[in-house]
Every structure is written in structure tokens, then in C-alpha cells.
């Protein structure tokens, strides 16, 4: 698939389901060609079908954000398929290991940091040369309120996401031509929330599923950031619960 030279391209990690899949559809609706970066290409079939059912285009590449070679190959394949990268959405993440610090496995703890923090670094490192060639380049790092508020049993997740919030600020300062944002999607009905509820370890695990937001809510915010690149928000760790931000997204829909 060769991309239209006038069509913006968004590379989205963790895009087979949940927020990543919904963000890919929202980006396609705003005129992007989403390239879904997933560990298993077969897992992207449903998300691709949902986009194509709307008469929109999408593609997928194999990518494990915890593996440097896989990340480099994914970026190269995205460029081969679409010819450019205008937006990078670092959405891939993991909540495990859940448990008080001394009860966690050190290798699992390090693996969580590799996905939630080192993964976005690797993606940005590999994609920035291509992003720098775009006149409207953007990076959105999917963050969490847990980056700023510790939660019992989530030491790996909270620590890695706190690091990601600082990485957002570093990218914004070092590469001002690439609009970089952090974005906290809130408590969303995803597979990650299934694992959280099963753990029963903190107050988030006790939120009824009926009270969780659908993935298309944060997806709309992510697509809006990539599309409009608001200069006044660059470098910030934004939250879906910000009413002023909600109004701006709704007005642009």
C-alpha cells in the first residue's frame, strides 16, 4: 500500500483493541491513514475491519515496543507502506505486575518499565527523523493519572508513567517542531481494566464496569490533538476530565 502524499500518516502502538483501536478509527475519520502497530498482525484484523467498514483506509505493522529491533523494523515498514509519519501515538502499555512492591517479581517489574517508558522512548527515537520531515508532526504519549498519584499495588505502572510524563516534557523542549503531548484517558473499559478489577487491590479495582468510559471517548481527544496540534498545550500531561479541553474537542467534532 502506497500512501497518498497528501494524506497524513499516524503510527499507533497497542492498536489491536481498546483505546489504540478506537484512536486509529478516530484518526482515520480525521483524514489520517492509521498504521496499527501490534505484536501479532492477526490481532489487528478486527480493528482494521472496523476502519474499512467506514470506507476509510488503514494498515498494520508488527511491533513489540519492548524490543529495539522490532521497533526499528516497524517504523521502516510503516515508511515503506505509507511513505511518511506525521503522528506517533504511544499507546501500548501494561499494568502488570500488580501487587505490593516486595510481592512483585523484579523481572516483571522491569518488563513493565520496558513497555510503559522505554517503549515510547524507542518509538520516538526511531520515528523522529521521519516526523521531522512533516510540517504538522505530533506525538501523543498515552499517560495516566497514576503518573502523578501513586496507587497501591501499581509501583511499576505509576513509576514508568511518571517517567513518561517527563519524557513528554523533554521531547517538547528538544523538538519544538514536533508537537508533543501527554494524555490521561481516564478510567476506560479495556482489557487492562479487567485485570485491575480482578486484582481487587485498590479503589480503582472497585469501580463498577458500568461506570467505565468507552474507548471512543479518549480516542476522540487523541485524534483531536494529532489533527489540531494546539500550541498552548504542548508538553503538558492533559486529562480527559478537563472540562475546557472537552469543550474544545467537542467544538471541533
| CA pseudo-torsion sign 116, 77, 82, 86 | positive
Q: For residue 71, tell me if it sits in a domain.
A: yes
CA distances from 71 to 14, 55, 60, 141, 166 (A): 12, 29, 13, 16, 21
In a domain, 2, yes or no: no
Alpha helices in the chain (DSSP H): 18-29, 45-52, 68-82, 106-113, 119-131, 155-174, 191-199, 216-228, 243-252
Count structural domains, the chain.
1
Q: How does the average pLDDT of the chain come out, rounded?
A: 96
100, part of any domain:
yes
pLDDT above 90 for 1: no
Q: Three-state SS for 227?
A: helix
Q: What amino acid positions are annotated as catalytic residues? A: 157
pLDDT in tens, 207-224: 999 999 999 999 999 999
Range of the domain at 224: 8-252
Angle between helices 119-131 and 68-82 (to 10 degrees): 30
Residue 1 lies in a domain: no
Q: Which domain CATH number covers 16? A: 3.40.50.720
Q: Which residue, 156, 144, 25, is CA-closest to 103? A: 156
pLDDT digits (tens, 9 = 90+) for 124-181: 999 999 999 999 999 999 999 999 999 999 999 999 999 999 999 999 999 999 999 9
What is the pTM (predicted TM-score) of this model?
A: 0.96
Q: Which residues pair with 9 in a beta bridge?
A: 33
Residue 3, in any domain of the structure: no
- Cβ atoms of 251 and 220 within 8 Å: the answer is no
Distance CA 114, CA 116 (A): 6
Amino acid at each position: 500500500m502506497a500512501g497518498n502524499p497528501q494524506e497524513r500518516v499516524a503510527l499507533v502502538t497497542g492498536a489491536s483493541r481498546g483505546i489504540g483501536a478506537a484512536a486509529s478509527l478516530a484518526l482515520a475519520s480525521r483524514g489520517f491513514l492509521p498504521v496499527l502497530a501490534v505484536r501479532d498482525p492477526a490481532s489487528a484484523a478486527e480493528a482494521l475491519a472496523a476502519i474499512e467498514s467506514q470506507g476509510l483506509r488503514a494498515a498494520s505493522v508488527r511491533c513489540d515496543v519492548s524490543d529495539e529491533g522490532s521497533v526499528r523494523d516497524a517504523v521502516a515498514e510503516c515508511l515503506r507502506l505509507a511513505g511518511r509519519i506525521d503522528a506517533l501515538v504511544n499507546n501500548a502499555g501494561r499494568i502488570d505486575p500488580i501487587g505490593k512492591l516486595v510481592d512483585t517479581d523484579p523481572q516483571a517489574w522491569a518488563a513493565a518499565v520496558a513497555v510503559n517508558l522505554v517503549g515510547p522512548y524507542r518509538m520516538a527515537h526511531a520515528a523522529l527523523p521521519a516526523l521531522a520531515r512533516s510540517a504538522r508532526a505530533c506525538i501523543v504519549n498515552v499517560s495516566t493519572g497514576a503518573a502523578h498519584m501513586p496507587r497501591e499495588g501499581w509501583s511499576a505502572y505509576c513509576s514508568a508513567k511518571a517517567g513518561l510524563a517527563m519524557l513528554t516534557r523533554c521531547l517538547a523542549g528538544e523538538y519544538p517542531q514536533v508537537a508533543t503531548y501527554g494524555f490521561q484517558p481516564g478510567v476506560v473499559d479495556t482489557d487492562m481494566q479487567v485485570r485491575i478489577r480482578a486484582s481487587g487491590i485498590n479503589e480503582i479495582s472497585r469501580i463498577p464496569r458500568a461506570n467505565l468510559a468507552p474507548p471512543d471517548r479518549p480516542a476522540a481527544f487523541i485524534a483531536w490533538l494529532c489533527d489540531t496540534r494546539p500550541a498552548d498545550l504542548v508538553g503538558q500531561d492533559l486529562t480527559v476530565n478537563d472540562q475546557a479541553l472537552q469543550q474544545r474537542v467537542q467544538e471541533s467534532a
